Structure 1
Amino acid sequence: MAQSSSETIPTSIEEVQTTKIEEIQLGETNSRDDYAPTDGGWEAWGTVFGATLISFGTFGFVNAFGAFSDYYNEAYLSNYSATIISMIGAVQVFILYLFAGTAGAVFDSVGPRYLIPTSGVVVVFSLFMLSITKPEQIYQQFLSQSVLFSLGATFSFFPSMGLMAHWFKHKVPYAIGCLASGASVGGILVPIMISKLIPRIGFGWTIRILAFITLACFAVGTVTIKQRRPSKPFPKSVSALFDFSAFRDPCYVFLVLGCWFTVFAVFNPFFYVGLSAEVADPESNVNGYYLAILCAASIFGRVSPGLIAGKLGRFNILYISTLISSILIFALWYTSFAQANLIAFAALYGMFSGPFFSVTPSCVAEISPIERVGARIGGTYAFMASATLAGTPISGLFIKEQTKANFDKLILFSGIMSLVGTVLLLVARLIRKRNLFAVA
């Protein structure tokens, strides 16, 4: 029986080779990942820009809590101890970190189109609620600033961070650093606005102005943030949100433990450096700017690791920067509260503590299977949440009476916890690669 033309048998070796090559090329085309990271392009960098604005409007307020704390201690909640007031900031960070994994899973299922604006509505509403709180009614600050704000913020901040790995492969540390710099800018502008506007227009209208700025950030973020990969079904098990099996990896265990101890210390300068300056010189005109100096320097510390991570290694950057931060706590903050000393400390600590915020998720991603990165990052921040809840209030116990001697105890506690964290991070680094001078 005659064969049809579509079933023609190749008549030469060249035709056979050509057919095989075409089949291989067709197979490669079919197996190609259409959603692979682009490592650039308008949509990728537009997503970074929008995520940076989201970072400003969410974690920027967390970085600025020191300014809120100073005002609450001095005027708005002066009947409460510094420890109780510090719980507002501690619970705020605790809720942000605790729901990081859940936020990532919801984002993967819903996408940015609906989740970002919904999160923005909750965040802006919480700020308007904060603006109408009454003096000496601390439960109102807890409900609006600690609970409602954080629940809204976590469902936009962490998913935005996760999107960086969707759009970038080699430039992930740099993209996350850019995003984290938005929080630093918030830590600069919000304290300055609080110190300048509250005496003129009052607490309520100052917070409303900040709410309108935050609304603008979320509006732009909603337009510019794009989803790279298609949505997935919402996970039906807790293991999909938090990859607890990761704790069988010694490198991951020491990395998370190191971060846990570091968190006990890393927020204390943000919350208390301005208050320590007030103790030393209540009349100084610089007192309202220490937090702004710290956050300004932190921009460099959060962005620069992305530029050098390929040459030095993410784990090297993390443990070295944490070690230097620990040394600065003892060498500058502990030794003197003189104005020049505190300015130098704020600038240098902001610079060297910055990598902790931008490099940590990159380190987790580096040692995780690609399909488990989101769950492991969520589990990491959920584990760190307990340290955020305990660290700041414990530090506040040292300064029930705000004296130089009591602040020295707080600073010693911060330095010791930071050093313990550094040692554990170094162990994680050595597990990763035993050669201390290797890129890792």
Structure 2
Amino acid sequence: MSTVLKTSALEQRPIELAVVSSHNPEPDAASENTIVVPVVDDVPDGGYGWVVVSACSLITSFFVGLTYSWGVMQAGLSKQKLAPDSTLAFIGSTTISFVAFGAVVNTHVIRFMGTRNAALLGCFLLGFGQILSGWSARSVGGLFVTNGIIMGFGCSICFLACGTLPAQWFKRRRGMANGLIFAGGGVGGCVWSVLMQSLLDKVGIEWTFRILGFITLVVTMPAAMLLKERTRRTTASIDWSLFKDPKFLLLFFGSGIATFPLLVPPFFIPLYASSLGLSSSLGSLLLALFNLSSAFGRVGFGALCDVLGPLSSLAIALVVSALSLLAIWPVSTALAPFIVFIVINGLGNGGFFSTMPSVVGHVYGPRISIAFAMVVSSWAVGYIMGAPVAGYILERYGGSEAGRAAFRPAMYYAGSMSLGSASFVLGVRHLTSKQFFAFA
């Protein structure tokens, strides 16, 4: 009688050899009854996994798309003189910063409740926070609580649920699956930025928040019901031993630095469009183009992970983003070069999000839940301070009313941070494999 052993779906280990005894209760190496059988990996790489990918992509279109469309709302609030640009950018960055601040805590929430129930909670907070923002649109403190904290916790839960669940369903196609999921954020940002500007023009800021909140609840909660785990997640906590690994240190600090410039373009595109003499509606369309380019970047770089490897793909995405910020945006004195910048930066920007889950899964395998939560926690400072620092620099040089030249120092700051993060990722790539274009 022979026995075949399988790994758990969550561990996703490669084929190994297991020693099994068919008769002798205490087998030894010399026993003729001892047989060697393969331990097989049963990750389906498809099937119901594609339903999971579709549902996660739809949810991502809201929690990423809405946060990346904050620039439209920021421009509207700026016109009403609610607060300086740096403060308004701080409100928007607070929302997405909770993806990092709540990473370790919310992995325990997901473990306790299960992915489906946790995603339902996240989607509810996402929509409810926007509805409450409709009653606090004239209060900076109120927006920090409703749009920043409440909506932020919803974003954090949704990000962790949708960002790590594909690892249970995909291995060979994991990069493509993650790319399709996070592409939903780009498509959503394209839709919401246009719809947001249309609602602002027709019903004002208060009802724009409320309508978007109701739409979020109606669409995302049924999608969350489709999420399904193949195995229950292990409890993620802080594994201090990872800080002894040079690869983890480089990835931890490199990805943290990378988040500083990520929100600068989407938050400031409408303001920069205004400095070029363009209308608010055209500014929202340019932000929609950025988000659409981000969607293509998420899919493209996600697929590239399966070809060149995730670390190489992440490094390329960061370099593309850096070059667009340092070489193209500063010379965008007209609509045409500004569009070129928007498209190229959107591609690189989107590539960061779709490659990061694959990078962590590639380097740390079965420990992805723990390692990913710890890596994401390093994004907190960059998320919450990246765009506000750019806003502060802008104000120091005269503010958005001072024209295009006032934006350039903020551009150079963002581009330098992106280029610096790429050097950290290349360091991880060097420690992992000497060959750059190789899937190690």
Question: Which letter maps to 1:343?
Answer: I
Give the Å deviation of 1:418.
1.2
- Residue 242 of structure 1: aligned partner: 238
Matching of residue 430 in structure 1 with residue 430 in structure 2: yes
Largest Rg, 1 or 2: 1
1:117 — aligned with what?
120
- Tell me if the contact between 2:179 and 2:303 (Cα under 8 Å) persists in the aligned partners: no
In 2: Cα distance, 1:66 partner to 1:320 partner: 26
Equivalent-residue separation in structure 1 for 2:158 and 2:349 (angstroms) = 23
1:251-400 matched pairs, under 5 angstroms: 251-283=247-279, 286-370=282-366, 372-400=367-395
Answer yes or no: is the 8 Å Cα contact 1:326–1:419 preserved in 2: yes
**1:43-97 residue CA offsets vs partner (Å, 9 max, x unmatched):** 211111111111122122111111121111122xx14111111110121122122
User: SS of the residue aligned with 1:355?
Assistant: helix
Tell me the secondary structure at the aligned position of residue 399 of structure 1: helix
Following the alignment from structure 1 to structure 2, what is the Cα–Cα distance between the partners of residues 322 and 231?
A: 31
Q: Is the 8 A contact 2:116 2:226 kept in 1?
A: no
Change (3 A) 1:244 1:390: farther
TM-score, structure 2 length as denominator?
0.87
1:54 corresponding residue in structure 2: 59
Structure with bigger helix share is 1
Structure 1 residue 172 displacement after superposition: 1.4
Work out the CA distance in 2 between the residues paired with 1:18 and 1:271.
Answer: 65
2:88 is the alignment partner of 1:92: no
Offset of residue 437 of structure 1: 4.4
Is 1:201 the counterpart of 2:203? The answer is yes
Q: How does 1:40-79 map to 2 (within 5 A)?
A: 40-41=46-47, 43-75=48-80, 78-79=81-82
Q: Name the CA distance, whole Å, in 1 between partners of 2:252 and 2:281.
A: 40
**Contact kept in structure 2, 1:54 and 1:157, CA below 8 Å:** no
Tell me which residue corresponds to 1:418. Answer: 418
In the other structure, the counterpart of 1:154 is 156
Question: In the aligned structure 2, how far is the partner of 1:40 from the partner of 1:425?
Answer: 30
Gaps of 5+ in 2: 1-20, 25-32
CA distance in structure 2 between the aligned counterparts of 1:61 and 1:362, rounded to whole angstroms: 24
- Aligned counterpart, 2:14: none
Match of 1:187 among 186, 189, 203: 189
Give structure 1 stretches of 5+ with no counterpart: 1-16
User: How far 1:153 sits from its partner (Å)?
Assistant: 2.4
Find the aligned partners of 1:244 and 1:279 in 2 and give their Cα distance.
48
Pick closer, same or farther for the CA change 1:356–1:204 going to 2, 3 Å: same
Partner Cα distance (2:191, 2:343) in 1:
16
Displacement of 1:266 in angstroms is 1.8
The answer on whether the counterparts of 1:329 and 1:415 sit within 8 Å (CA) in structure 2 is yes
The answer to whether the 8 Å contact 1:100/1:381 transfers is yes
- What's the CA shift for 1:349? 1.1
Q: Distance in 2 between matches of 1:110 and 1:264?
A: 32
- Which amino acid in 2 is paired with 1:434? K
2-side partners of 1:329 and 1:201: how far apart? 35
Cα offset for 1:202? 2.1
For residues 153 and 354 of structure 1, the distance between their equivalents in structure 2, rounded to whole angstroms, comes to: 17
Distance of 2:369 and 2:300 partners within structure 1: 24
Q: Is the CA contact 2:254–2:421 (under 8 Å) kept in the aligned structure 1?
A: yes
Q: Provide the C-alpha distance between the structure 2 equivalents of 1:219 and 1:389, rounded to a whole number of angstroms.
A: 27
Whether the 8 Å contact between 2:251 and 2:424 is mirrored in structure 1 is yes
- Cα deviation for residue 350 of structure 1 reads 0.8
In structure 2, C-alpha distance between the alignment counterparts of 1:363 and 1:152, rounded to whole Å: 24
The corresponding residue for 2:3 is: none
Query: How many pairs align?
Result: 408
Which residue, out of 125, 129, 149, partners 1:126? 129
Matched to 1:383, the amino acid is S
What does residue range 135-174 of structure 1 map to in structure 2 within 5 Å? Answer: 135=138, 137-174=139-176
Please list the CA deviations of residues 189-245 of structure 1 after superposition, one character each: whole Å capped at 9, or x if unmatched: 11101111221122232222212221123232232111110365xx5xxxx423332
What SS does the aligned partner of 1:60 have?
coil
Task: Tell me what 2:17 maps to.
Answer: none
Matched-pair contact (CA < 8 Å) for 2:308–2:437:
no
Distance 1:419-1:80 versus aligned 2 partners, 3 A rule? same
* 1:107-132 deviations in Å (ceiling 9; x for gaps): 12321342222222222211110122
How much does 1:303 deviate? 1.0
Q: Which residue of 2 aligns with 1:7?
A: none
